[in-house]
Structure 1
Amino acid sequence: MVDKRKPEKEYVVVRHRPGYRVRRTLILLVFSVSAAAVGYAVGVDQGGAHFSSMAATNEVLEDELDSLEDQYTEARQQVVNLERGRLIDKQALNRARTTIVELETQIASLKSDLTFYQNIMAPSETSKGLQVDSFSLAKDPQPGAYDFKMTLTQVGNNKSYIEGVVAVNVIGLRDEEKEVIALRDLSKDIQDLGVKFRFRYFQDVAGLLVLPENFEPREVQVVARAKGQKSSQAERTFDWDDLTEN
């Protein structure tokens, strides 16, 4: 039986004179990464991340991903050549390795973005409509303070806007007693119990929250309610330790 499996990529050792050619390649790679990032940023609306064409955005990201993967393979070949060559330009080698790390980061980010958009455009039957997509926390230098970011999405039918309010509560213990604190009472960035939203594809809500003394957070509860013709409710609970483990 003939083995029809696709052969793995092979790196060919080529006698290479480092210098101008390597630097030129690295400069092109850096500009490509920058162009991909700028292209992505231009597609995002600052007020609510409104895209004129999700399908076009998805296609552009796929093209950028293919291009970056080709550049990543080329950069890996440059490293092989530099490491095996008789005359090794250490500075060029370090630049090549740094570029590879940047490309790996960019590729991972693009893959994550693609998954996010594809889930909005082609959802499963059980995940249509208003969704609480994510909630993240990042430690702030201020004691007991965290930068938070929440993302709401409208999955499936994006032809019209969806609007409503979303409430966030931090659940924990104080003096061994359960306590529920509204995000409004923890963050100066949030003025109401229910944060208003209006979007077609997705919307981010971000800010800084500060925990009170002697309070031990355990969970973050997010409840979003849409009104009007698209009346619905989405709810998710996030474990505090999972949100802060990194």
Structure 2
Amino acid sequence: MPHLPPLARPQGAGQPRLALAVLVLAAAWLGLWGAWRSFVPTPANARERLQQQAQRIDALEQRVATLARSDQISRQANAGLQATLADRDEEIAGLRADVAFYERFVGATAQRHGLAVHELHLQPQQDPQLWHFVATLTQNINRDTVNSGHLQLALEVTDGRTMRRLDWPVLRQQAGAPGVAYSFKYFQQVEGDVVLPRGARPVRVIARLLPEGSVPLEQSFTWAAAAQPRGGG
């Protein structure tokens, strides 16, 4: 039997298979895309809806900002109102204290008191050695008589070991310094300044009244009480 040569593979025989595979893949991709379109439809006005949502978000953010600002303004107004009410309460309390003070000395049922220093306050100034004082003088015994005279202050101070007294001329740094003049029927506030020597530690303040035609009077106050800020407890 004659030997036959092997059959030669026709040229281009694999191309139909490749084309078929491509077609199958394309058909599968189209099927998947169609299924996705069927289950997740895209609305025709998607862009318009996105714009509407963005506008709504902007409007809500603007409303939140407006409400926050309104709340801040309300809080500030409320704080201002509370401060005003506190000021009014303090003013009313001061007026009531003044009325009680006046009734104590000029009222029909007021108890009779002779010349005295009702209150004494000292306040430090920028210079730590300089102090400003305000004294309230009262009397209601001689209601038709004007009381005149002078007020002087003195201090009892310590250096940690001994006590000594600093009289008015020392506190005024002027030899023979006159006191602060007063003249009133019922009450009067007088004020002035004193200078404390360096290193002096005040313990007591002495108010010395020098009424015209009468003997001097002295009243003492602790430095802690006299130098306490007004309104302090």
Which bracket does the TM-score occupy, shorter chain normalised?
A: 0.5 to 0.7
Partner of 1:244: 227
Q: State which drifts further: 159-168 or 186-195.
A: 186-195
Partner of 2:185: 200
4+ residue stretches of structure 1 with deviation over 6 A?
A: 188-191
Contact 1:170 1:218 (8 Å CA) reproduced: yes
Q: What secondary structure is seen at the aligned counterpart in 2 of 1:118?
A: helix
Q: Which of the pair has the greater relative contact order for Cα pairs under 8 Å at 6+ separation?
A: 1
User: What is the CA-CA distance between 1:149 and the residue it aligns to?
Assistant: 0.9
Q: What secondary structure is seen at the aligned counterpart in 2 of 1:184?
A: helix
Identity of aligned residues (%): 26
Contact 1:119 1:155 (8 Å CA) reproduced: no
Contact 2:173 2:195 (8 Å CA) reproduced: no
**Counterpart code for 1:244:** A
2:123 is equivalent to residue 138 of structure 1: yes
Which runs of 5 or more structure 2 residues have no equivalent in the other structure?
Answer: 1-70
- Deviations, residues 174-204 of structure 1 (Å, cap 9, x unaligned): 3623221123322379973544322222222
Partner of 1:170: 155
> In structure 2, which of residues 91, 100, 103 is the aligned counterpart of residue 118 of structure 1?
103
Structure number with larger C-alpha Rg: 2
**Counterpart code for 1:124:** Q
Matched residues in 2 for 1:90 and 1:143: separation? 41
> In structure 1, which of residues 97, 100, 103 is the aligned counterpart of residue 88 of structure 2?
103
- Deviations, residues 25-82 of structure 1 (Å, cap 9, x unaligned): xxxxxxxxxxxxxxxxxxxxxxxxxxxxxxxxxxxxxxxxxxxxxxxxxxxxxxxxxx
**Counterpart code for 2:223:** W
**Counterpart code for 1:207:** G
Contact 1:131 1:155 (8 Å CA) reproduced: no
The 5 A counterparts of 1:1-246 are 89-122=74-107, 123-125=110-112, 128-174=113-159, 176-187=161-172, 192-228=177-213, 231=214, 234-246=217-229
Which runs of 5 or more structure 1 residues have no equivalent in the other structure?
Answer: 1-85
Contact 2:154 2:171 (8 Å CA) reproduced: no
Normalising by structure 1, report the TM-score: 0.55
